[in-house]
Amino acid sequence: MPEVVDHDESWPVVRSVDLHRDDWVVALREDHLQRPGHPEDEPFTRLVLEHPGAVVILAVDEQERVLCLWQYRHPAERTFVELPAGLLDVAGEDPLEAARRELVEEAGLGAAEWTPIGSTYSSPGISSERHHYFLARGLAEQDRGDFVAHHEEAEMQTGWVPARELHAAVVDGRVGDGHTVIAVLMAQAQGLLEV
């Protein structure tokens, strides 16, 4: 049996075609792959959604409450209970620095303590999107600077939810945002969240 660990690997790409690429965050391309060691096989096609990655912040206050956001997501036509999060859309930015920036922008908060709790790929069968999860404690209000919310973010609501209540909502399916589910369960499994 192979070792239980993900590892980097790249199969030969015979041809790649951009299907959509502009100045927005994501791009869509069509790659034609060759199975390694099988030059007689016809290349096969895979769609790849290029994504810079993102950060998710589980911000917990001294009362063991989690800062949550209620945000509309059009592709799902649903408002989700989410955590502060944002794209790694600044060239060369470290995920922790992006997490610090996003917590200020989305919540007007800074944190004295940051703990990495893991990284996951959202849907590796089609996307390169990777999320980095952080636990933030020692929270204090911080000026958002010149940040202005637009579109769905301008309608976003925020609130503090007891960690036990959020965990219960995750476990019983009332909260379905994958990144919120992952962050809460990883932090709880690592003993970082009292539920």
Concerning whether 77 is annotated as a catalytic residue, the answer is: no
**Does residue 100 belong to any structural domain of this protein?**
yes
Q: What is the pLDDT of residues 159-171, one digit of tens each?
A: 999 999 999 999 9
Q: Which residue has the tokens 């391309």?
A: 29
Is 84 inside a domain boundary?
yes
Average pLDDT of the residues in 134-148: 86
Same domain, 174 and 78: yes
Residues 35, 120 within the same domain: no
CATH of the domain at 143: 3.90.79.10
In a domain, 1, yes or no: no
Q: Of the listed 64, 113, 141, 153, which one is catalytic? A: 153
For residues 164 and 149, membership in a common domain is answered with yes
**How many structural domains does the chain have?**
2
In a domain? residue 43: yes
- Note the pLDDT tens digit of each residue in 4-35: 999 899 999 999 999 999 988 899 999 999 99
Q: Which amino acid is at 44?
A: F
Global pTM?
Answer: 0.90
- Residue ranges making up the domain that contains 24: 13-50
* Cβ atoms within 10 Å, residue 165: 14
Q: What is the CB neighbour count within 10 angstroms for residue 193? A: 22
Kind of pairing between the strands at 130-141 and 54-59: parallel
Torsion, Cα 3 180 132 56, to 10 degrees, reads 180
In this structure, the answer to whether residues 116 and 163 fall within a common structural domain is yes
Two tokens, residue 187 = 């932090």
Instruction: Give a yes or no: residue 3 inside a domain.
Output: no
Domain match, 66 and 150 both: yes
